Amino acid sequence: MRAILFALAVICAPAQTMLKDGQLHVVLCGTGSPLPDPQRASACTAIIANGEFLLFDIGPGSWRKAGLTQLPLANLSAVFLTHFHSDHIGDLGEAITMSWAAGRAQPLDVFGPPGADKVVAGFQAAYSLDAGYRTEHHSAQWMPPAGAKAKATAANSDQPVFDRSGVRVFAFPVNHHPITAAFGYRIEYRGRKVVITGDTSKSKEVEKNAARADLLIHDALSKDMILAAAAMAEGMGQKRQGKMARDIVTYHATPVEAAETAASAKVETLVLTHIVPPLRDEAHQKVFLRGVAEAFAGKIVLAADGMRFDFPPR
Ligand SMILES: [Zn+2]
Ligand SMILES: [Zn+2]
């Protein structure tokens, strides 16, 4: 029993430190895409600052990554959805239910473009039987029904979406046509600025919002690699795979386009995420990053699940 308690204490310590140390922390809990990737969960980025634990997108597999990365699950304050493609929302039910199981007792705020209420209502319906089981099994004292609930709010770009404990979150429109609305988010805390683009092709709105940001976490798809894969699929008679691959190149930025935006915005560090296609080895990484360093002189990071960035107040 002692050994188990010790292990729990070790696991919880970094999370509690991150909540209280006055710094802005960014943890990548999902850096992949809808394509299966053994190394990466789908889209998810955590921000932790001054007692607040915010998640931006919650794609399939990312809630488990959040746990493995020792994030303070019981302290989940809010979830922000960039848009409603399945690779950005698939684990919302897990996040609501398992943060409640970890100790969150009040309804969870979920922000997103118009339509967030429909997405949240769907997950709540799907998980309602489970919620009943848990309260009955563990008692309302330990699993209060309020904690199983989530409250959806449609964000808009006119005012902060979230403003608490000194942490401010702003939404802005990105270009993920034909998906409207799709948002990026800008997070500010004690002189630091982090921008999460969600899915977008090259966008002036991203450039504007990311001006002199400490961290720009940008969508990145290698057009060259995807078009080569499309041609190969078509060569083997796989018309459907070819068509799908050709369709997706138009609504994501390439790594070089993300780098160009980072350069124009004069950001400190560019993180390439939502990696398409999955990169199997170093050779693939090299092809993926071709031209990026020439386009942006700042720090370039190829995102990986579990990566963490810490920003002391400025
Ligand atoms: Zn998308
Ligand atoms: Zn996506």
Q: Which ligand is nearest to the CA of 200?
A: 1
Under 8 Å between Cβ of 95 and 63: yes
Distance 240 CA to ligand 1 centre (A): 19
Evaluate whether residue 6 is within a structural domain. Answer: no
d(CA 170, CA 185): 6
Q: Give the tokens for residue 269.
A: 């560090």
Strand-pairing partners, residue 19, are none
User: Which range of residues forms the domain containing residue 163?
Assistant: 21-311
Distance 88 CA to ligand 2 centre (A): 6
pLDDT of residue 80: 98
Residues with CB under 5 A from ligand 2 (ion): 85, 87, 199
Please state whether the peptide bond connecting residue 126 to the residue before it is cis, i.e. omega within 30 degrees of 0: no
Distance 220 CA to ligand 2 centre (A): 10
Distance 41 CA to ligand 1 centre (A): 15
Q: What is the DSSP string of 187-231?
A: EEETTEEEEE--S-SS-HHHHHHTTT-SEEEEEEE-HHHHHHHHH
Q: Which ligand is nearest to the CA of 87?
A: 2
Distance 83 CA to ligand 2 centre (A): 8
Helix (H) or strand (E) holding 133: helix 128-138
| Cβ burial 127-155 (10 Å sphere, 16+ → b, else e) | beeebeebbeeeeeeebeeebbebebeeb
Provide the residue type at 102 as one letter. Answer: A
Q: Give the distance, in angstroms, between the CA of residue 44 and the centroid of all CA atoms in the same chain.
A: 2
Q: Which ligand is nearest to the CA of 273?
A: 2
pLDDT of residue 13: 61
Beta strands in the chain (DSSP E): 24-30, 44-49, 52-56, 76-80, 108-112, 150-154, 162-164, 167-173, 183-189, 192-196, 215-221, 269-276, 299-302, 308-311
Q: Which ligand is nearest to the CA of 247?
A: 1
Evaluate whether residue 289 is within a structural domain. Answer: yes
Q: What is the DSSP letter of 181?
A: S
Q: Which ligand is nearest to the CA of 43?
A: 2
Evaluate whether residue 110 is within a structural domain. Answer: yes
SS3 (DSSP) at 75: helix
Per-block average pLDDT, block size 10, for the chain (314 residues)?
43 78 97 94 98 98 94 97 98 98 98 98 98 97 98 92 98 96 97 98 98 98 95 95 93 97 98 96 96 98 97 96
pLDDT of residue 158: 81
pLDDT of residue 9: 44
Evaluate whether residue 11 is within a structural domain. Answer: no
Evaluate whether residue 2 is within a structural domain. Answer: no
Active site residue 199: no
Distance 183 CA to ligand 1 centre (A): 10
Instruction: Determine how many CB atoms are found less than 10 A away from the CB of residue 245.
Output: 23
Q: Which residues contact 92 (CB under 8 A, 6 or more apart)?
A: 58, 79, 81, 110, 119, 120, 123, 150
Distance 146 CA to ligand 2 centre (A): 31
Task: State phi, psi for 203 to the nearest 5 degrees.
Answer: -140, 130
From 37, 87, 91, 305, active-site residue:
87
Evaluate whether residue 16 is within a structural domain. Answer: no
Distance 2 CA to ligand 2 centre (A): 43
pLDDT of residue 8: 43
Distance in Å from the first CA to the final CA of the chain: 43
Evaluate whether residue 183 is within a structural domain. Answer: yes
Distance 229 CA to ligand 2 centre (A): 19
Distance 67 CA to ligand 2 centre (A): 21
Q: Count Cβ atoms within 10 A of the Cβ of residue 158 and give its class: 0-12 exposed, 13-18 middle, 19 or more buried.
A: exposed
Evaluate whether residue 196 is within a structural domain. Answer: yes
> Could you tell me the CATH number of the domain that includes residue 34?
3.60.15.10
Q: Which ligand is nearest to the CA of 84?
A: 1
When divided into structural domains, the chain yields a total of 1
Region of 41 (left: φ > 0; alpha: ψ -120 to 50; beta: rest) is beta
- pTM listed for this prediction: 0.94
pLDDT of residue 293: 98
Q: Count Cβ atoms within 10 A of the Cβ of residue 110 and give its class: 0-12 exposed, 13-18 middle, 19 or more buried.
A: buried
